[in-house]
Structure 1
Amino acid sequence: MRKVGPYGVETLPQVYTAGSGAAALTAYPGPAASVDVPAAPTACRDSRTERARLQWHRRDGGDPAALAEEFLAAHGLPLHDLTRPARPHHQGSGVCGAALYLSAAAGAHLAGAPTTAGEPAPTLPDLTVVVYHHGPTRPTPPAAPTPWWLGPWTDSWTPREHADAVDAVRAAIARGDVYQTNLVGHAAARYTGDPLPALSRLGALPGARYGGVLTGDGWAIGCASPETLIEVTDGQLITRPIKGTRPATAAGRAELLASAKERAEHIMIVDLERNDLARIARTGTVTVDDLFAVRRWCDLWQAESTVRAAAADGLGLADLLRATCPGGSVTGAPKHAALTQITALEPVGRGASMGALGWVTPGHVDLGLTIRTAAADADLLHTWAGGGITWDSDAHAEVAEAAAKTAPIRATLAGHGRTHDRR
């Protein structure tokens, strides 16, 4: 018997179990309907249906990177050698590709760093892989519309607590423990109605390179991220770290370009990303393009660089995830020390934010960093925002920057934010 779960998602009997020494993992066919997964090809949107799904939580144990690679290979998507040319539509197999989501906590787990803060949305998995194929869609009949209501936001820390955490990072920098640490705050709001339209609106925000949604039984993630965590095409690796923010005015752009603090913070993360890519690249191939290029996201200017390299022979998805997750621009430098400090200072876990979300096929990976991201569980919407802290950081300015980043997300979720064509 079929069962209709939250958000109109049709759940079917479980049909796959994966072990690898961990607790049993299950995969199941999901909703047979059009999807807007970030970075998925739009050409086959109306014929793309879910074929199989893997979900994993940290409590299950095991290596999520290896499990993802094994699961994809078992469903006709071998990604054990990303240097091979991409194969469009996988030579008639009907498989289109797969959505891949990895939480920031799962990334920290891969890095061997502590993750002890409680998660504000524990129903969210730490790894989701959804394989899609081409075939006729079977849309779930729409439910009767219900009024959308979003309550007031409650932050997990006060502005004073946030500022104190900034000062604690600066003290750690003074001791030589870290050079930079990214601090992230969380907020939640109760809602009534269907959250999917609200989450889907995020993808229309200007600059949302990775705009889209991913849903599961009892949860949904909406993304408006402008940042490339890692892109691989025919053996070429690219990451585009973003660090440095100002209001999207002429004065804001000039201030960002002139800021020694923002440039130093940005270059520190670029160096970290160069190091991450060097672990999985052919020797001597790591280069930096477009250093500190200023681009727009909603009403903000942000500084972005492009780091590229040639993949080492035989590089697979699992090693790619281990090298790049969690992203340097949302952790800090050195990465492991920054992750340890993040666990000590942030009041709750990062949930759906600061992780990886995108699309994978053989020879091609395109994962966005889940900044500017919201998630829904059965009762609450959740958002996260923060910024990188250096010795020159001003605590009150950092609190204001986090508020500026989350304001367009909250307005859009409420239904009165401005959306435009992506650019």
Structure 2
Amino acid sequence: MRKNGPTGVETLPRPLIDVPGAPPSCRGVLVERARYEWRPADGGDPATLAEQFLAAHGLDLTDLARPATHQPTGVCGAALYVSAAAGAHMIGAAPGAPTPAPALPELAVVVYGHHPSPSPAAPPAPARAARSGPGWWLGDWRESWTPRQHADAVTAVRAAIARGDVYQVNVVGHAAARYLGDPRPALSRLGALPGARYGGTLHGDGWAIGCASPETLVEVTDGRVITRPIKGTRPATAAGRRELLASAKERAEHVMIVDLERNDLARVARTGSVRVDELFAVRRWCDLWQAESTVSAAVADGLGLADLLRATCPGGSVTGAPKLAALARIAALEPVGRGASMGALGWVGPGRLDLGLTIRTVAADADRLHVWAGGGITWDSDPDAEVAEAAAKAAPVRALLATG
């Protein structure tokens, strides 16, 4: 167990808190009060440990159905980051390959309180955060596998589907690039990408995460638990939109994940309350059309944060179906771990929980930036097309990071 108490924090300059989902009205007055980071060597169940740590610091999330009100004084809420590996650990799934960014924890909980005066640093508008500081340099990206190896992994998934082992598996690649300078301004720019519903950052000692995710992993508000899976991609052109809407393969892949998410929510919902509010709505993220659905349910009485995390992590749209079998294939095929990607990042607080799925997400360690991208594989998948789709998803993120 690693806990960092912000010793002397009141005497230090207070950075702007830019955690995805943090209350906009509070961001200028938030200050870190306590921090907990978990890695597998620490032992224990990260879901339970997160819930216990939050309760010990004034955020009792043991019954998410119980009404609660945000208070303008005292504890405001907490940032919550859960890696894909931590999510797999929570449900006893195959752990996967080692992370390429071991400086990052697999789980981080950062509790924030309200400072009596606003931060002296006014929040910059995302559109104006267009430049890293002087001296920013980003090297060439080095892939964790070749396009041929990626395509071969797609072929292997199709073979597993033919055997009846799985119905769908999400396959993800990784790349890293060395950098010089301060990576935080570059990571902050990601939140300005169009459609970045969960744009923001989280920092720790020797690591940082920047997110431009459009996808809701799980949200709890007004007594309902909501997830918005995204599955299905085409270029953001008129022809691309028509192709996505007409694609039987993309729709079948999407509906399969919606069914998985319905099953996940049913485990933590009031009996009979799960519903699909919206199915296969086409929305834009940067230069891509993507299909999104909304699944919701009434929160069961007594549902706590730990059980909710076990039910929803890792997210179905980045694992596959059945989830445990898909995670076993992922562990066997992907050459490096998913690190900060394909997990969860967002905000938890009194009466409110909002976690984004960490797609379109970048991690920084002491000397490298890390990106991940992939897609869902079904029997109808074309290996070369899947490689091209992953590259298209990563391209806007890489381009923005290179701007200096």
Indicate yes or no: 2:34 matched with 1:52.
yes
Indicate yes or no: 2:22 matched with 1:40.
yes
The offset of 1:145, in angstroms, is: 4.9
The offset of 1:93, in angstroms, is: 4.7
For residues 60-139 of structure 1, what are the structure 2 equivalents within 5 Å?
A: 60-89=42-71, 93-135=73-115, 136=117
Q: Is the 1:243–1:262 Cα contact (8 Å) retained in structure 2? A: yes
TM-score when normalising by structure 2:
0.94
Per mean C-alpha deviation after superposition, the further-off stretch among 182-191 and 228-237 is 228-237
The CA distance in 2 between the partners of 1:80 and 1:317, in whole Å, is: 6
The CA distance in 1 between the partners of 2:81 and 2:111, in whole Å, is: 12
Q: Is the 2:232–2:244 Cα contact (8 Å) retained in structure 1? A: yes
Gaps of 5+ in 2: 122-131
The CA distance in 2 between the partners of 1:399 and 1:345, in whole Å, is: 15
Q: Is the 2:28–2:119 Cα contact (8 Å) retained in structure 1? A: no
The CA distance in 2 between the partners of 1:110 and 1:224, in whole Å, is: 25
The aligned residue for residue 297 of structure 1 is 285
* Structure 2 counterpart SS, 1:44: helix
TM-score when normalising by structure 1:
0.90
The offset of 1:85, in angstroms, is: 1.7
Q: Is the 1:34–1:137 Cα contact (8 Å) retained in structure 2? A: no
Q: Aligned match of 1:313 in 301, 310, 323?
A: 301
Q: Is the 1:33–1:137 Cα contact (8 Å) retained in structure 2? A: no
Q: Aligned match of 2:5 in 28, 40, 44?
A: 28
Q: Is the 1:274–1:286 Cα contact (8 Å) retained in structure 2? A: yes
Q: Is the 1:86–1:234 Cα contact (8 Å) retained in structure 2? A: no
Q: Is the 2:136–2:182 Cα contact (8 Å) retained in structure 1? A: yes
The CA distance in 1 between the partners of 2:176 and 2:353, in whole Å, is: 31
The offset of 1:146, in angstroms, is: 3.9
The offset of 1:25, in angstroms, is: 2.9
Of all paired residues, the percent bearing the same amino acid is 76
The aligned residue for residue 18 of structure 1 is none
Q: Is the 2:96–2:330 Cα contact (8 Å) retained in structure 1? A: no
The offset of 1:33, in angstroms, is: 2.3
Indicate yes or no: 2:337 matched with 1:349.
yes
* Structure 2 counterpart SS, 1:309: strand
The aligned residue for residue 232 of structure 1 is 220
* Structure 1 counterpart SS, 2:148: helix
For residues 21-420 of structure 1, what are the structure 2 equivalents within 5 Å?
A: 24-29=1-6, 32-89=14-71, 93-135=73-115, 136=117, 145-415=133-403
The CA distance in 1 between the partners of 2:292 and 2:96, in whole Å, is: 31
Q: Is the 2:172–2:372 Cα contact (8 Å) retained in structure 1? A: yes
The offset of 1:96, in angstroms, is: 1.0
The CA distance in 2 between the partners of 1:123 and 1:248, in whole Å, is: 36
Per mean C-alpha deviation after superposition, the further-off stretch among 54-63 and 385-394 is 54-63
Q: Is the 1:84–1:234 Cα contact (8 Å) retained in structure 2? A: no
The offset of 1:27, in angstroms, is: 2.9
Q: Is the 2:17–2:30 Cα contact (8 Å) retained in structure 1? A: yes
The C-alpha deviation readout for 1:365-401, integer Å capped at 9, x for no partner, is 1000000000100010000000000000000000000
Per mean C-alpha deviation after superposition, the further-off stretch among 390-399 and 54-63 is 54-63
**Matched residue type, 1:36:** D
Root mean square deviation, CA, Å:
1.4
* Structure 2 counterpart SS, 1:384: strand
Per mean C-alpha deviation after superposition, the further-off stretch among 390-399 and 227-236 is 227-236
* Structure 1 counterpart SS, 2:307: helix
* Structure 2 counterpart SS, 1:112: coil
The aligned residue for residue 124 of structure 2 is none
Per mean C-alpha deviation after superposition, the further-off stretch among 174-183 and 54-63 is 54-63
